[in-house]
Amino acid sequence: MQLGVFSVGDVTPDPTTGRTPTQHERIKALMAIGKKAEEVGFDVFALGEHHDHPFVPSALTTMHAYLAAQTERLVFSTSIAHITTNDPVHIAEQYAMLQHLSDGRVDLMFGRGNTGPVYPWFGKDIRDGIQLAIENYDLLHRLWRTDVVNWQGKFRTPLQGFTSTPRPLDGVPPFVWHGSIRSPEIAEQAAYYGNGFFHNNIFWPSSHVRRMVGFYRQRWEEYGHGPADTAVVGLGGQVFVRPNSQDAVREFRPYFDVAPVYGHGPSLEEYMRETPLTVGSPQQVIERTLSFREVVGDYQRQMFLLDHAGLPLTTVLEQMDLLGEHVLPVLREEFAKGRPAHVPDAPTHASLLARKEAEGLPERPAHESRAALTHDEDEEVSA
């Protein structure tokens, strides 16, 4: 089980003091959280791409490269990176570069991400969201696996004899997760490629999360990647922890009550009942997080949102100390219990490289997608 921290990098006033951090302070705080993640024993740190107010993480590879240079073990991911409004050629090169500089400590979670107004800033239209996600990832998949690419699609200029640079480290592309809250099409996409599926989980009742993950697992099996329980699943979750649960509730409530994402709506207690939000003691966090397995089965990656809604950096770092000492070791031990031997761990660069060497084959190619998106030989064949 990989345990991680994910952040959207919102710049939000602290409701208890009224003070808003500067963008510079928030960016530096995110880097402090990333370094702390390794120090206290998390496996993964992920930043979510945003280009709109009030968020700061617009240049993920720069931020993750900064952290990669100052850490040894931590894996960097995205929560999420936009597969819709970024040029797949740009993604291929940026993240392959990050992969080299971090010695393979990078993977990606992709999503559509943006709100309507953001798409035009990058020359796109939100009504094309699903199609952009399909076409752009299909091209990215090829760019990382084929040295010389000839390609033509709907949304960007054609490529002729193009080679993205640098080539992936050891010829092994970064592992990719596809994230979606509610679109079956994206779960379908993840299953088709044999990629991971990430459900952000934090804003939704578990009945919905169960259906999305169940659909992905079923399609994974139908596409021939193995039994449904071998599919690669990640979940989000949000916690606020203090040694004593009453203290946690008392301290977090003013942040919850006016938080941009859920303030002025349901009470903290209602929200905890309906979603995975856990505000309480380390033991409560452990029990709640372990219960996610009952919803989606044995899964591979659990990410925690810790630093939003205006919580000050010192408070966030205290959370991380508590989680590192009291929660992470227990979660690792408990998630391992009863887990069938054939359920894989989350792929890493080392495991993907080992698989490649063992099989002597490239990763599962997407023949159909390649055929459908090129105007090469098969225009009539599959029409």
Partner 1 sequence: MTRRIVVVSGGLSETSATRRLADALGEATLAALRERGVAAEVTTLDLRPRAHDITNAMLTGFAGTSLQGDLDAVLAADGVVAASPVYSGSYTGLFKGFVDLLGQAAFDGTPVLLAATAGTARHSLALEHAMRPLFSYLRALTVPTGVFAASEDWGGDGEAAGALASRVERAARELADLVAARDPKQVVDEFDAAPSFTQLLGDLRRG
Q: Which residues bind partner 1 (CB under 8 A)?
A: 130-131, 134-135, 138, 153-154, 184-185, 187-189, 191-192, 203-205, 207-208, 211, 215, 261-266, 270-271, 274, 368-369, 372-373, 382-383
Choose between 65 and 130: whose C-beta lies nearer to partner 1.
Answer: 130
Closest contact distance (angstroms) between CB of 83 and partner 1 is 14
Tell whether the torsion through CA atoms of 225, 229, 232 and 233 is positive or negative: positive
Place of tokens 């040295």: 147
Closest contact distance (angstroms) between CB of 225 and partner 1 is 13
Closest contact distance (angstroms) between CB of 332 and partner 1 is 31
Q: Reply yes or no: is the peptide bond before residue 166 cis, omega within 30 of 0.
A: yes
Choose between 41 and 54: whose C-beta lies nearer to partner 1.
Answer: 54
In angstroms, the Cα distances linking 330 to 130, 202, 289, 373 are 39, 22, 11, 47
Choose between 69 and 383: whose C-beta lies nearer to partner 1.
Answer: 383
Structure token pair of residue 67: 């952290």
In angstroms, the Cα distances linking 353 to 20, 151, 173, 347 are 45, 27, 9, 10
Closest contact distance (angstroms) between CB of 127 and partner 1 is 12
Q: How many residues does the chain have?
A: 383
Closest contact distance (angstroms) between CB of 309 and partner 1 is 14
Choose between 29 and 272: whose C-beta lies nearer to partner 1.
Answer: 272
Choose between 63 and 83: whose C-beta lies nearer to partner 1.
Answer: 83
CA 307 to chain centre: 16
d(CA 367, CA 358): 22
Choose between 59 and 130: whose C-beta lies nearer to partner 1.
Answer: 130
Closest contact distance (angstroms) between CB of 151 and partner 1 is 13
How big is the chain by its Cα radius of gyration, in Å? 21
d(CA 306, CA 192): 32
Q: Looking at residue 16, what DSSP letter applies?
A: T
